[in-house]
Amino acid sequence: MIPAAFDYKRASSAAEAISLVGQYGDEAKFLAGGHSLIPLMKLRLAQPAMLIDIGRIKDLSYIKDGGDFIAIGALTRHMDVEKSALVLKEVPLLAHAAGYVGDAQVRHRGTIGGSLAHADSASDLPATTLALGATYVVQGPKGERLMAAADFYKGFLESALQPDEMLTEIRVPKMNGAKWGFEKFNRRAQDWAIVGVAAWRSKDASGVALVNMGSTPILATSVSAALKSGASVADAAQLASNEAEPQDDLNASSEYRVHLAKVLVRRALEKASA
Amino acid sequence: MKVSITVNGTRQEKDVEPRTLLVHFLRDRLQLTGTNIGCDTSSCGACTIHLDGEAVKSCTMLAAQADGGKVTTIEGLSKDGVMHPMQQAFMENHGLQCGYCTPGMVMASIGLLKENPNPTEEEVRLGLEGNLCRCTGYHNIVKSVLAAAKK
Ligand SMILES: Cc1cc2nc3c(=O)[nH]c(=O)nc-3n(C[C@H](O)[C@H](O)[C@H](O)COP(=O)(O)OP(=O)(O)OC[C@H]3O[C@@H](n4cnc5c(N)ncnc54)[C@H](O)[C@@H]3O)c2cc1C
Ligand code: FES
Ligand code: FES
């Protein structure tokens, strides 16, 4: 399968990429790792007339200590997040989740920024960064703005990004030793989750987010509220789908998804409370 | 557009359409048909090659994205007529049946050992999750990789 014809330009900085997209308008799309976009283009579900390749913007591929948070450049590949000593130490939940994205070949190419910007509720990293209370740095023609992960996801494959805005950095609060659990239920290796859960818990707080339980990643706030008011893990997990609107698809009915969410939230929280 | 890609040690400069997939560049432009296309939907790993030393699926990349890079395909593994130790291990351990998945399996396995020289059986199975064998010969594939790791 061959994508429809398009023009191709390679950007060497975020500013150049943003100005190029501005020049070509709605017809243009950023290309990062290409591991969501190219499959869609091969199926002709996406037919951009212009691809702006941002995959080689070297100064957007980094992992740094930002004090209270770890700053990750949007073009950092999944494999680099998974293996980073800094991420493993300060946000182990994110390193673990990055290691469960697709397979090794996918993780060599796919980027964290591409995964978040694609805004697929079935993807692992949108929910994981949501659970961790991450902040996204967005750059546009008028400058930079910060956006909480909780405000970023608007609908099915829809984010708050404007077409001429680029995700440049992801800031993930350090976990400060909080325990965590990550559960991904799928039927074949390398697949997306049928339902997934990313959760962490400290003495007086917690964060729980769900993969593939609606058109966006879902923050399970009822579960965290119940834990805070002293509920047991088993009881809190019963509230797993309160905020969710799971859909039926070929893999699972919405009813089954609700069941999975409760079981997986319980398992994740048991690990986070051990 | 012009791309310049070093394939198995030889620099290749070609004019391509931007939409040319790397796997088509290798197979159709360079006649390196050892790299197979299985699923064409990023799932099976038959098209796995190395780009700058890392295993990637060449059906899910544009040739343009490999511009300036170094590609190794299955054809580039043997040296002076002697097979790569991984190829040898596949042969000795019956790591192939029909052989369709084999080029991708070998490339992915070499990549795996580069990142984890001494894997457990479990780690080999997990490390090769992006490669499917339609003949379901996984048992001997895993055996081959473990044998190659010992060499
Ligand atoms: C076989 C396979 C299995 C997979 N399995 C999983 C899985 O189990 N879990 C999972 O979470 N994901 C999975 N993925 C998806 C993978 O995570 C992709 O890498 C990721 O979704 C997209 O990242 P990318 O860099 O490849 O983005 P691209 O495909 O290049 O881009 C995706 C979209 O985001 C836009 N974009 C990219 N970067 C930016 C940016 N910095 N700013 C603004 N917009 C941007 C692009 O214009 C495009 O619309 C899988 C993919 C494949 C091929
Ligand atoms: S042909 Fe590329 S992954 Fe199957
Ligand atoms: S040997 Fe036949 S597909 Fe693997």
Contact B93, B140 (CB under 8 A): yes
Contact B121, B142 (CB under 8 A): yes
Alpha-carbon radius of gyration of chain A: 18
Q: Which residue of B has its CA nearest to A5?
A: B19
Convert the pLDDT of each residue in A146-169 to its tens digit.
999 999 999 999 999 999 999 999
Amino acid at B61: M
Task: Write the ipTM.
Answer: 0.96
The pLDDT of residue A189 is 77
Contact A92, A131 (CB under 8 A): no
Convert the pLDDT of each residue in B91-147 to its tens digit.
999 999 999 999 999 999 999 999 999 999 999 999 999 999 999 999 999 999 999
Average pLDDT over residues B33-49: 97
Convert the pLDDT of each residue in A184-228 to its tens digit.
999 887 789 999 999 999 999 999 999 999 999 999 999 999 999
Burial (CB < 10 A; 0-12, 13-18, 19+), residue A215, is middle
Contact A117, A126 (CB under 8 A): no
Contact A109, A37 (CB under 8 A): no
Amino acid at A198: A
**In the block, residue with structure tokens 């048991």:** A270
Percentage of residues of chain B with pLDDT beyond 70: 100
Task: Specify the DSSP class assigned to residue A239.
Answer: T
Tokens encoding A112: 């964290």
The pLDDT of residue A26 is 87
Q: Note whether A7-53 and A179-273 share their fold.
A: no
B52–chain A Cβ distance below 8 A for any pair: no
Task: Specify the DSSP class assigned to residue B85.
Answer: H
DSSP-derived 3-state class of residue B3: strand
Position B13 pLDDT exceeds 90: yes
Task: Specify the DSSP class assigned to residue A77.
Answer: B
Indicate the class that CATH gives domain A58-173. Answer: alpha beta
- Give exposure, A85-113, as e/b (b: 16+ Cβ within 10 Å): ebbeebbbbbbbbbbbbbbbbbbbbbbbb
Model confidence band, residue B151 (pLDDT cutoffs 50, 70, 90): confident
Is A53 within 8 Å of B64 when comparing Cβ atoms? yes
- Cα dihedral A109, A113, A115, A120 in deg (nearest 10): -160
Contact A133, A93 (CB under 8 A): no
The pLDDT of residue B8 is 98
Residues 128 to 147 of B: which have CB under 8 A from any A CB? 129-131
Q: Measured from the CB, is residue A107 less than 6 Å from ligand 1?
A: no
Contact A212, A196 (CB under 8 A): yes
Is A103 within 8 Å of B45 when comparing Cβ atoms? yes
Task: Specify the DSSP class assigned to residue A217.
Answer: -
Domain ranges of chain A: 7-53, 58-173, 179-273
Position B29 pLDDT exceeds 80: yes
Q: Tens-digit pLDDT profile for chain A (274 aa)?
A: 899 999 999 999 999 999 999 999 889 999 999 999 999 999 999 999 999 999 999 999 999 999 999 999 999 999 999 999 999 999 999 999 999 999 999 999 999 999 999 999 999 999 999 999 999 999 999 999 999 999 999 999 999 999 999 999 999 999 999 999 999 999 887 789 999 999 999 999 999 999 999 999 999 999 999 999 999 999 999 999 999 999 999 999 999 999 999 999 999 999 999 8
CATH topology of domain A7-53: 3.30.43
Tokens encoding B2: 């012009």
For the beta carbon of residue A137, count every other beta carbon within 10 angstroms.
18
Average pLDDT over residues B74-103: 97
Indicate the class that CATH gives domain A179-273. Answer: alpha beta
Chain B residues in contact with A4 by the CB 8 A cut-off are 19
Instruction: Name the nearest CA neighbour of A166 among A32, A50, A26, A7.
Output: A32
A129: left (phi over 0), alpha (psi -120 to 50) or beta: alpha
Is A104 within 8 Å of B61 when comparing Cβ atoms? no
The pLDDT of residue B75 is 98
Tokens encoding A161: 């990004």
Task: Specify the DSSP class assigned to residue B28.
Answer: I
Instruction: Name the nearest CA neighbour of B47 among A78, A109, A210, A168.
Output: A109
Q: Which domains does chain B have, with CATH numbers?
A: 2-76 (3.10.20.30), 85-150 (1.10.150.120)
The pLDDT of residue A25 is 87
Q: Measured from the CB, is residue A87 less than 6 Å from ligand 1?
A: no
Task: Specify the DSSP class assigned to residue A74.
Answer: T
Q: Measured from the CB, is residue A110 less than 6 Å from ligand 1?
A: yes
Task: Specify the DSSP class assigned to residue A197.
Answer: E
Residue A71 C-alpha from the chain's centroid: 15
